[in-house]
């Protein structure tokens, strides 16, 4: 066995990046040098998306131009709407986004001389449109107009979802959550986007790979699973009882633990505060109190801490977002980080092609089909 083999590539440096640091000593979580705490408290998601995709925080004028470009790129081509109308209401919204991204790549392919920054902005602007165009058509046959009148992506998403202007608190909570979800170094979906980009494939293929990778419950899908868990308990005491039984059965509790962070996820206290604020504003504390108890039990029993997905669940629920849309909202944010990584990969490309330790049979003779026992 090769000594350098690390299951799941744990601890393996698989490339260089100037986009973010995750859990690095003395740095923590930063996007292009800015701390996540500062960005989540003071920036808007549009500023952060500009920072990630274009490499710098925008001046006021640049931000205005960027936001205007995004608003102008929200509408969907007729061909994509026709594809979305074919997808059943029973489809998982992640499958809708994966299909929508792939279809857009066929309708508006990256051609010779295509501007990859425009492709990134097009996907960033149009994911909420794809998701909610499909959602309303599949569930009540309505072909919505994409124009929400909302400037921010957070407001646009909520307005398209609910068919009315969102409450300011909800708009701000979703905006902060998009910032937290926007980027996270060489996580599985970003790595998968970079692997696809490294073959010199197109932008949409790289993002489609990433969406498929994000979908699983060990990655982005954890926020949906966390919601199913916390909403299944009527009280903190019941949560504690059931959780102990789950741990005794060696079940994994989604929304806890992390491959890189070993003591805490710096994004978790930020989204937890939003969850508390939203719970207090709604006068509905049950999900929050159940979540807090689960956090205590996980710490006490397993030494495990909540990751970003855990308190995102109650926060999104309190903003009226359906559970199956939690991971798609993650896509709407992470497209900023994926785009930055695809652009970075292309700028200094080398094909990803690792090797494997072989564990199969020794070389043996082929036996013709008629002579096999």
Catalytic residues: 219, 258, 309
Residue with the closest Cβ to ligand COA? 257
Give yes or no for residue 92 binding ligand COA (CB under 6 A): no
Give yes or no for residue 258 binding ligand COA (CB under 6 A): yes
Minimum CB distance to ligand COA, residue 368 (Å): 44
Based on the number of CB atoms within 10 Å of its own CB, is 239 exposed (0-12), middle (13-18) or buried (19 or more)?
buried
Minimum CB distance to ligand COA, residue 16 (Å): 22
Binds ligand COA by CB under 6 A, chosen from 65, 106, 218, 281: 218
Give yes or no for residue 113 binding ligand COA (CB under 6 A): no
Choice between 83 and 331, CB closer to ligand COA: 331
Minimum CB distance to ligand COA, residue 306 (Å): 8
Question: DSSP for 161-193?
Answer: HHTSPPPHHHHHHHHHHHHHHS--TT-HHHHHH
Binds ligand COA by CB under 6 A, chosen from 180, 254, 329, 331: 254
> Which token pair is 170?
């909800």
Question: DSSP for 244-272?
Answer: HHHHHTT---TTB--SS-SS--TTHHHHH
Q: Are 102 and 51 in contact (CB under 8 A)?
A: no
Binds ligand COA by CB under 6 A, chosen from 138, 253, 278, 332: 253
Q: For residues 283-322, which are near ligand COA according to CB under 6 A?
A: 302, 304, 307, 309
Binds ligand COA by CB under 6 A, chosen from 127, 133, 137, 256: 256
Choice between 150 and 185, CB closer to ligand COA: 185
Minimum CB distance to ligand COA, residue 8 (Å): 6
Binds ligand COA by CB under 6 A, chosen from 255, 266, 328, 337: 255
**In 27-39, which positions are buried (b, 16+ CB within 10 angstroms) versus exposed (e)?**
eebbbbebebeeb
Which ranges in the chain belong to alpha helices (H)? 36-42, 45-54, 60-72, 78-86, 93-107, 116-140, 153-162, 168-181, 188-198, 203-214, 222-230, 236-248, 268-282, 286-302, 308-318, 326-347
Give yes or no for residue 252 binding ligand COA (CB under 6 A): yes
Nearest partner of 177 among 321, 34, 339, 288, judged by Cα: 321
Minimum CB distance to ligand COA, residue 217 (Å): 6
The owner of tokens 């489809």 is 91
**Residues that bind ligand COA in the complex, under the rule CB under 6 A:** 8, 218-219, 222, 252-259, 302, 304, 307, 309
């Amino acid at each position: 066995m090769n000594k350098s083999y690390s299951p799941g590539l744990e601890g393996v440096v698989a490339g260089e990046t100037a986009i973010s640091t995750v859990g690095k000593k003395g740095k923590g979580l930063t996007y292009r040098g800015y701390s996540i705490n500062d960005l989540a408290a003071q920036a808007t998601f549009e500023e952060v998306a500009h920072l990630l995709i274009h490499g710098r925080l925008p001046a006021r004028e640049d931000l205005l131009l960027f936001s205007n470009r995004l608003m102008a790129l929200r509408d969907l081509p007729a061909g994509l709407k026709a594809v979305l109308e074919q997808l059943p209401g029973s489809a998982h919204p992640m499958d809708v986004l994966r299909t929508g991204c792939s279809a857009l790549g066929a309708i508006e392919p990256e051609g010779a001389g295509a501007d990859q920054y425009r492709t990134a902005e097009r996907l960033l602007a149009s994911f909420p449109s794809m998701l909610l165009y499909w959602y309303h058509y599949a569930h009540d046959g309505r072909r919505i107009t994409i124009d929400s009148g909302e400037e921010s992506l957070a407001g646009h998403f909520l307005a398209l979802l609910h068919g009315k202007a969102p409450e300011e608190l909800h708009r701000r909570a979703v905006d902060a959550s998009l910032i937290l979800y926007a980027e996270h170094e060489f996580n599985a979906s970003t790595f998968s986007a970079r692997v696809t980009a490294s073959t010199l494939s197109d932008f949409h293929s790289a993002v489609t790979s990433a969406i498929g990778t994000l979908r699983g419950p060990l990655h982005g899908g954890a926020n949906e699973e966390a919601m199913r868990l916390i909403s299944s308990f009527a009280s903190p005491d019941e949560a504690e009882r059931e959780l102990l039984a789950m741990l005794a059965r060696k079940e994994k509790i989604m929304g806890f633990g992390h491959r890189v962070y070993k003591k805490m996820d710096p994004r978790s206290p930020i989204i937890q505060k939003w969850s508390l604020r939203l719970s207090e504003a709604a006068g509905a504390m049950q999900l929050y109190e159940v979540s807090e108890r689960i956090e205590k039990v996980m710490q006490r029993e397993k030494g495990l801490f909540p990751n970003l997905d855990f308190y995102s669940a109650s926060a999104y629920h309190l903003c009226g977002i359906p559970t199956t849309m939690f991971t798609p909202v993650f896509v709407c944010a992470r497209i900023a980080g994926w785009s930055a990584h695809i652009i970075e990969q292309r700028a200094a490309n080398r094909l990803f092609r690792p090797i494997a330790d072989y564990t199969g049979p020794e070389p043996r003779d082929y036996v013709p089909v008629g002579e096999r026992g």
